[in-house]
A and B are shown apart, each in its own frame.
Chain A
Amino acid sequence: MADLSIDFAGIKSPNPFWLASGPPTNTGAQVARAFDMGWGGAVWKTIGEPVVNVSSRLGGLDGAGQRMVGLTNIELISDRPAEANFRDIEDVKKRFPDRALIASLMFGSKDEWRSAVKRAEDAGADGLELNFGCPHGMCERGMGSAVGQEPEVLRHITSWVKEVANVPVLVKLTPNITDILEPAVAAVEAGADGLVLINTVRSLVGVDLDRLVPVPDVAGRGSPGGYSGPAVKPIALRMVSDLARDERITVPISGLGGVTTWQDAAEFISLGATSVQVCTSVMHYGYRIVEDMVDGMNNYLDEKGMSFVRELVGAAAGRVTEWRELNLSYKVRADIDPDKCIGCQVCYVSCRDGGHCAIHLPGELLAQGHAAPRYRPAARAGGSSDSSSGLQGSPMPGPAEPGLTGWGSTVAGPTGSRVPWVDQTECVGCNLCSLVCPVPGCVRMLEVG
């Protein structure tokens, strides 16, 4: 059993799994139930001047076979009075002193910010999260992502808070910006003790085709909202790694955006996050998912021989580089395992129509100068032997070149076979066939030089 506990800028937590600010942290009763189930921390639903909300608020994107791979919301910050939230924080913190309880705040004026900081600290919050991220509603009033998109404004508000705060101050960033480093660096320079990202991605999740109104529908109208869930994870991972790789970012990172499983969490942590936050998948499946997150993370760390989760932090970050730094002489080629292939030929279609036309069916004519599997690269240049066999329409394998045995196992297949084969001179090693193949391990990408 590895030690999952973390110290995030002085905020202690028994594990790196925190509930993100949102509906799952709306009330004390909810957060207490979540802590009962094992969550290490929670960021309270953003407290601000009480707002009104609309109905309806959410719209989902379904994937094949799975509901809500993406979720867009147009809900605003907490519509409960600020004082009610602070009292709840006080109660929960007393009951769960070992958990990380962070108050998320969003206010307008300097005075409002400062009095809220004081009140949150009085309630016992372990830290403060400044919500500079919401891309809908609040930004129209100059808050939320309107702040996150203006590094100078962000810097001012952060320093207002830092001047009075006694607990760590975390700044939550919006992804709705070209360069995430600009607001991140501004926050760090203004004294932020940690960075939280990403907030939701401004989006329009769909159109009701029966009524021709956007989703979610508010009396026949819709408005862009904030996108979350598994679909945004790649965006979040990229931005976390951007920060982790920059030497100006000297504070810990709390990563979020589509975290659903322990693997998702491990990916965020390996790219540089110290804690991860979860909202959408709890909205989908409930607090109970934390049990497997803790269990799965433990098993993973054990398998990796890591005793502390902090050993994983940033372990993969150094492998993320600029494109220009990639090794251009590295080559892989697709290799179809004829024993595993079920003959659906989906790889053939995708390569033909959406790839580099390198996969062929048994018996298909070989283009002049091209090589079927096990054709000698030397003969390819001369063209004589290859082109003659190609004209005869015979992609049957020739003698394997020593050293090419790795990809030489892709054979044209016997007569009547449905197993496609890869023209090794046409294959650019793009991976597409291995991504569409329905059989695990059937298409392998083999290194050839």
Chain B
Amino acid sequence: MALQRRGHGASAAADVRRRSCAAPGRADSVRDRPRAARVRRKVNNSRFKLPTGRIEQGFRTSKPPYSDAQARAEARRCVYCHDAPCTKACPAGVDVPGFIRKITTGNLKGAARTIFQANVLGYSCGRVCPVEALCEGACVLKLAPDPPVAIGRLQRYATERYVGTQAGTDMLGAPGTKHTGRRVALVGAGPASLACASHLASRGHEAVIFEKRSLPGGLNMSGVAPDKLHAEDALAEAEWVLASGIELHTGVEVGKDLSWERLLADYDAVFLGVGLAGDRRLGIPGEEGPGVFGAVQTIERLKLDPTFRPASLFPGSPGGDARLGAESQPASRGERGWGGESGPGGESSSGGESGSGGERVGAGSAREFSEAGVVVIGGGNTATDVARQLALLGFGDVTILYRRSERERPGYAHELELARLAGVRFIENVVPVRVLRRLEVGPGNAAARGDRKGGVGVAGGPTDAGDSAGQLRGLLVADAEKARAIPGTEREFPAGAVFVAVGQAGVPDLIAGCPGVESGLGGRVKADEKTGRTGNPRIFAAGDCVNGGKEVVSAVADGRRAAVAIDEMLR
């Protein structure tokens, strides 16, 4: 394949080929090993490496891989519907009964190909898709009534042995496709771009991805809850897709390092798969100070940052930083706090450091701070994701606050159920109005507030100044009606840390710089849903930057649809 000899894609492809050739016939001997371990091993030999010591490495999946016998037994439960509701419910349109039947006959290669033809990220989608609300939610067996066929786990089973192998790469391409000479630039290396690029490459077009970060994979790599999928598995999958003949340039931010005009001059078409701009803010006083964190950013740190420790979420903890990405705040130790109770401040944290058993990372430290309680704001799936991870890390008191009723939540009911099973509390119709902090001990603060000398841990009432300084002690919350605070219902809600999961911010600046592309609702890219066409006829877009943040499988499906439209335009 001529395409693979160029750029980074070529070396990755060569790596994959070398690895898969190194041990012919090894499939049998490793058949019963945990699949996740195999994916990890592959990425260790690859171009992209993740550091060790990341918190996510301690998370185990709640849906472990199937053994051959388990997979066959589960596959046989499929009744092979004529007009499969599961396939209709799948945004990518995977032929579910088709691939499951192939599992029952032992035709695993055919099963994997069936999945990859519709969804190049079929492996991670098998693990992260909200199957309860999609394919499995539509399974007719539920009417029997029986548990639905575990389609997600079967999809993982069918695909995991081919992700990262040359045999799997061969399934992505179309043998004998001639190079068209057309070039397409894709901005961002997340699921939408990977799906779009893979499809374009299989149609003979040259696909070149520009990614501003150092790693490909997008939110599928950095934003999926660690108990569903680890970053290294998503990274290995992304690298394997790239090896099918896609060129990748990392560390290139289009608009800064490379102008849009240059891109449009050098390429026949441009695809925007840039995603969104990270956690949106609450917009309440005190939010900017220490102890308030973005949910997406928190999950990313769990997954990618080897220096991150849950205890560091608390300003009073040793080595704790004030907030994600910000400088450390001075720690006030040995004080009373959090509603007058003996707080987990200095004593607890020092205990955490020098404690018995050498427990120094992860849940051990988190437990030391769990009394403080943590609060998650939001009604979506990111809120339940981060709340569940915190509960799994050992935080004893995790509460989700949502401004509307449980019934109105945009997030999946089964995800809230999972969070509840992990110990998370959900409170509906409550809205935060202000972040509460302790006054700092310091000459500046004392002088500014002559009436409250050294006003540490003032009981009751919020601090009325220094909103962005001082240790977090909680939120002022109010009952809400139609998402609005009801005056007079304000009260304190103690919290050691607050996680904001109220959606992701748009990318208006990027859109403004992109010729002809219009900005839509919430700073999203305005694009046609079916084709990804934007206001510029040569620019297409799909994924979170268009839909405002949906499932990986939606991004894959939309990216593929855009590729079809691009291919039509280029022919």
Does A346 interact with chain B (Cβ within 8 Å)?
Answer: yes
Please determine whether B82 and A349 come into contact, CB atoms closer than 8 angstroms.
yes
> Is the pair B80, A346 in contact by a Cβ cutoff of 8 Å?
yes
In angstroms, Cα B143 to Cα A343, docked, is 8
Name B81's contact: one of A64, A65, A346, A439 (CB within 8 Å). A346
User: Is A345 part of the binding interface, using a Cβ–Cβ cutoff of 8 Å?
Assistant: yes
Say whether B140 faces chain A, with CB atoms less than 8 Å apart: yes
B326 in contact (CB, < 8 A): no
Contact residues in B for A438 (Cβ distance below 8 Å): 79, 144
Report chain B residues within 8 Å CB of A344.
79-82, 140
Q: Which residues of A contact B76 (CB under 8 A)?
A: 64-65
Q: Are A345 and B144 in contact (CB under 8 A)?
A: no
Q: Does B329 contact A (CB under 8 A)?
A: no
Asked whether A37 is an interface residue with its Cβ less than 8 Å from the other chain, the reply is: no
Question: How many angstroms from the CA of A358 to the CA of B554 in the assembled complex?
Answer: 39
Interface string of A340-368 (1 = CB under 8 A from B): 01111110110000000000010000000
- Given that A64-B104, A418-B140, A439-B144 are contacting pairs, would A345 and B73 also be in contact in the complex, using a CB cutoff of 8 Å? no
If the complex has contacts A64-B76, A65-B73, A343-B143, are A348 and B104 also in contact, measured as CB distance less than 8 A?
A: no
- Check B408 for interface membership: any CB of A closer than 8 A: no
Is B82 a contact of A342 with CB atoms below 8 Å?
no
B82 and A346 form a contact (CB under 8 A): yes
B73: chain A residues at CB < 8 Å are: 65
Q: Which residues from B are CB-within-8-Å of A345?
A: 81-83
From known contacts A342-B141, A344-B140, A438-B79, infer whether A418 and B85 are also in contact, taking CB-CB under 8 Å: yes
**What is the minimal beta-carbon distance from B515 to any residue of chain A, in angstroms?**
46
Contacts of A418 in B (CB 8 A): 83, 85, 140
Against B, the Cβ 8 Å flags (1 = close, 0 = not) of A405-449 are 000000000000010000000000000000000110000000000
Q: Which residues of B contact A343 (CB under 8 A)?
A: 81, 85, 140, 143
Interface string of B104-144 (1 = CB under 8 A from A): 10000000000000000000000000000000000011111
Chain B 522-564 interface 0/1 with A at a Cβ cutoff of 8 Å (1 = within): 0000000000000000000000000000000000000000000
Query: How many chain A residues touch B (Cβ–Cβ < 8 Å)?
Result: 14
Enumerate A55-71 residues with CB–CB distance to B below 8 Å. 64-65
Q: Which residue of B lies closest to A350 (CB)?
A: B82
Closest-by-CB residue of A relative to B144 is A342
Q: Which residues of A contact B79 (CB under 8 A)?
A: 342, 344, 346, 438
B142 partner residues in chain A, CB cutoff 8 A: 342
Q: How far is the CB of B105 from chain A (nearest CB, A)?
A: 10
B143 close to A342 (CB less than 8 A): yes
Report the Cα distance A361→B82, complex, angstroms.
10
Shortest CB distance A48–B (Å): 41
What's the Cα separation between A348 and B83 when bound, in Å?
10
Please give the distance in Å from A223's CB to the nearest CB on chain B.
27
Query: Which residues between 184 and 224 of chain B lie within 8 Å of chain A, taking CB atoms?
Result: none
Given contacts A64-B104, A65-B73, A65-B76, contact A348 B82 (CB under 8 A): yes
Number of interface residues of B (CB under 8 A): 14
In the complex, which residue of chain A has the Cβ closest to the Cβ of B81?
A344
In the complex, the chain B residue whose C-beta lies closest to that of A352 is B82
Among A341-400, those with CB < 8 Å from B are 341-346, 348-349, 361
CB proximity of A413 to chain B, nearest CB, Å:
13
Interface centre among A348, A361, A439 (most CB of B within 10 A): A439
Q: Considering the complex, which residues of chain A in the window 305-359 have a beta carbon less than 8 Å from any beta carbon of chain B?
A: 341-346, 348-349
Q: How far is the CA of A361 from the CA of B83 in the complex (A)?
A: 10
Residues of chain B lying within 8 A (CB to CB) of residue A341? 143
Contact with A along B62-104 (1 / 0, CB 8 A): 0000000000010010011111010000000000000000001
Cβ distance B330 to chain A, nearest Cβ, rounded Å: 64
Of A344, A345, A348, A439, the most chain B CB neighbours within 10 A belong to A344
Contact residues in B for A64 (Cβ distance below 8 Å): 76, 104
CB-CB nearest in chain A for B104: A64
Q: Which residues of B contact A361 (CB under 8 A)?
A: 83
Kindly state the separation between the CA atoms of A341 and B80 in the bound complex, as whole angstroms. Answer: 15
Contacts of B82 in A (CB 8 A): 344-346, 348-349
Q: Encode contact with A along B315-340: 1 for CB under 8 Å, 0 otherwise.
A: 00000000000000000000000000
Closest to A353 in B: B82
Output the nearest chain B residue to A442 by Cβ-Cβ distance.
B144
Beta-carbon contacts under 8 Å, B215-261 to A? none
The contact string, 1 if C-beta is below 8 Å from chain A, for chain B 383-400, is: 000000000000000000
A residues near B144, Cβ cutoff 8 Å = 342, 438-439
The answer to whether A342 and B104 touch (CB under 8 A), given A64-B76, A361-B83, A418-B85, is no
In the assembled complex, the Cα of A341 lies from the Cα of B145 at a distance in Å of 10
Question: For residue B85, which residues in chain A have a CB less than 8 angstroms away from its CB?
Answer: 343, 418
Q: How far is the CA of A349 from the CA of B82 in the complex (A)?
A: 6
Report Cα–Cα, A343/B138, bound state, in Å: 11
- In Å, the complex CA distance between A439 and B145 comes to 10
Give Cα distance in the complex from A346 to B73, angstroms: 20
Contact between A342 and B83 (Cβ–Cβ < 8 Å)?
A: no
A437 to B: closest C-beta gap in Å: 9
Chain A nearest CB, measured from B405 CB (Å) = 28
Closest partner residue, chain A, to B140 (CB atom): A342
| CA A342 to CA B143, docked complex, whole Å | 5
| Separation of A306 and B76 alpha carbons in the complex (Å) | 40
- Min CB–CB distance B83 → chain A (angstroms): 6
- Taken together as a complex, chains A and B put the C-alpha atoms of A343 and B82 apart, in Å, by 9
CB B36 to nearest CB in A, in angstroms, measures 27
- Listed residue (A64, A348, A361, A438) with the most chain B CB atoms within 10 angstroms of its CB: A438
In the assembly, what is the distance between CA of A343 and CA of B140, in Å?
Answer: 6
Binary flags per residue of A54-91, CB closer than 8 Å to B gives 1, else 0:
00000000001100000000000000000000000000
Residues of B within 8 A of A348 (CB): 82
Q: A65 — which chain B residues lie within 8 A by C-beta?
A: 73, 76
B83 to A, closest residue via Cβ: A345
A440 nearest CB neighbor, chain B only: B144
Q: Which residue of B lies closest to A347 (CB)?
A: B82
Q: Which residues of A contact B83 (CB under 8 A)?
A: 345, 361, 418
Chain A residues whose CB sits within 8 angstroms of the CB of B140 once the complex forms: 342-344, 418
Separation of A205 and B139 alpha carbons in the complex (Å): 36
Measured CB to CB, the closest approach of chain A to B81, in angstroms, equals: 4
A344 to B77, CA, bound (A): 12
**A179 to B324 CA separation, bound complex (whole angstroms):** 87
Q: Collect the chain B residues with CB atoms within 8 Å of residue A342's CB.
A: 79, 140-144
Q: 9 new A-B pairs (CB below 8 Å) besides A344-B79, A344-B81?
A: A341-B143, A342-B79, A342-B140, A342-B142, A343-B81, A343-B85, A344-B82, A345-B81, A418-B140
23 contacts between A and B (CB under 8 A): A64-B104, A65-B73, A65-B76, A342-B140, A342-B141, A342-B142, A342-B143, A343-B140, A343-B143, A344-B79, A344-B80, A344-B82, A345-B81, A345-B82, A345-B83, A346-B79, A346-B81, A348-B82, A361-B83, A418-B83, A418-B140, A438-B79, A439-B144
Q: Which 9 residue pairs spanning A and B have beta carbons closest together?
A: A345-B82, A342-B143, A342-B140, A344-B81, A344-B79, A349-B82, A438-B79, A344-B140, A343-B140
